[in-house]
């Protein structure tokens, strides 16, 4: 099979769809890899490393797409990249199509390709093995990001996250106790913050009480509880997710307006549309904006700033599924097990996800 690995074109995205070690594994299996020049620079991988691994270096994204049966990406393709796709190709990446505008799905479907969203691969235990390490990274990065954003020079109130003797630490509220929320809680605690973790699943909160005894306060989430708990927070982290769907809005504008001026809101659900009514995507180069007196940080590709770690972690988790597709072919790979089937958003131009198909239909009627 011919595999294309283009450079990521999303602003401040430094990761790459496959590291040199992955290319070596593929070429040793007899497959051909076409890597766009400079694709790995942000993750610290040179063109020479890819050549040594057996790749052919190509000099445009269009060529990387044009030579490929399978395109390996990190994030959703841009409009220009969609136009480079051709009928019959397969694209695999963290596509987050649940948050995409219906017009993007229409364009992808019109190309008559197959799109597999790594974040939707679900194993028999019901977990998301490819998404998990990136969720761990995002959760852990939230704490170091908050520590900086609480400073005066970042536009906040000048609060030291961990406090000092005689001065209390920052009060941190994390909404969502999944992989992102748990890792955020662990890192905030490690830096000395006071942490309240909220979730709608009482059993999950009970398990976390056993895991972090006497170190974190847990609160069953409801609209009123969120409003009450967040009112005194210095940092609010949104970490809620509905697999394959837009994130629910759990922080409404009146709640945001009631927060203390200078409160830091880090919306880690932004790659699925955001969980705050006031959230809109930001970038690593312009990470924040202030609305209703609250410092918002809503970077969809947050792990992209630790690109080397994130690319290796991504490859470790995604490799079994990539190997299955390249060795068996897309049709046989989808027949072999439910994990990949659960991640297919578009197959041969047909939108598989019913919710997205309905939105596309409505978009088509209104255009």
- The dihedral through the CA atoms of 270, 347, 330, 86 has a sign that is negative
Active site residue 271: yes
> Is 347 in the active site?
no
- Residue 359 CA to residue 270 CA, distance in Å, equals 20
Half-sphere exposure of 247 (CA within 13 A, CB side): 24
Catalytic annotation, pick one of 271, 296, 347, 353: 271
**CA distance linking residue 146 with residue 148, whole number of Å:** 5
Write the DSSP symbol of residue 276.
B
- Give the active site residue among 96, 296, 315, 347: 96
Non-local (6+) Cβ contacts of 123 within 8 A are 129, 339
Looking only at the bridges linking them, the beta strands covering 90-94 and 70-75 are parallel
Burial grade of 56 (CB within 10 A; 0-12, 13-18, 19 or more): middle
Euclidean distance between CA atoms 351 and 290, whole angstroms: 38
Give the residue numbers annotated as catalytic, written as ranges: 96, 271
């Amino acid at each position: 099979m011919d595999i294309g690995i283009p450079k990521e074109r999303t602003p401040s995205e430094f990761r790459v769809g496959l590291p040199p070690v992955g290319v070596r594994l593929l070429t040793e299996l007899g497959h051909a890899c076409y890597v766009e020049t400079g694709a790995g620079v942000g993750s610290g991988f040179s063109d020479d490393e890819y050549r040594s691994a057996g790749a052919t270096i190509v000099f445009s994204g269009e060529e990387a797409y044009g030579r490929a049966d399978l395109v390996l990406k990190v994030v959703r393709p841009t409009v220009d990249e969609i136009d480079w796709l051709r009928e019959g190709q397969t694209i695999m990446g963290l596509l987050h199509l649940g948050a995409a505008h219906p017009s993007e799905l229409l364009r992808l479907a019109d190309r008559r390709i197959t799109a597999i969203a790594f974040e939707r691969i679900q194993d028999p235990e019901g977990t998301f093995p490819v998404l998990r390490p990136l969720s761990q990274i995002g959760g852990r990065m939230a704490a170091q990001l908050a520590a900086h954003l609480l400073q005066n020079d970042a536009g906040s109130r000048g609060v030291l996250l961990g406090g000092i003797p005689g001065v209390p630490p920052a009060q941190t509220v994390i909404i969502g106790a999944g992989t992102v929320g748990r890792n955020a809680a662990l890192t905030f605690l490690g830096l000395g913050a006071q942490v309240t973790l909220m979730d709608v699943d009482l059993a999950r909160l009970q398990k976390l009480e056993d895991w972090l005894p006497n170190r974190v306060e847990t609160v069953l989430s409801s609209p009123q509880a969120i409003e009450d708990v967040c009112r005194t927070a210095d940092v609010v982290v949104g970490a809620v997710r509905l697999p394959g769907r837009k994130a629910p809005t759990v922080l409404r504008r009146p709640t945001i307006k009631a927060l203390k001026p200078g409160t830091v809101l880090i919306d880690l659900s932004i790659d699925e549309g955001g969980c705050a009514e006031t959230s809109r995507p930001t970038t690593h180069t312009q990470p924040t904006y202030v609305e209703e007196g609250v410092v918002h940080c809503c970077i969809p590709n947050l792990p992209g700033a630790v690109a080397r770690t994130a690319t290796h972690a991504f490859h470790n988790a995604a490799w079994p599924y990539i190997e299955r597709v390249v060795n068996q072919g897309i049709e046989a790979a989808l027949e072999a097990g439910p994990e990949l089937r659960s991640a297919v958003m578009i197959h041969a131009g047909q939108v598989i996800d019913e919710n997205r198909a309905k939105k596309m239909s409505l978009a088509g009627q209104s255009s």
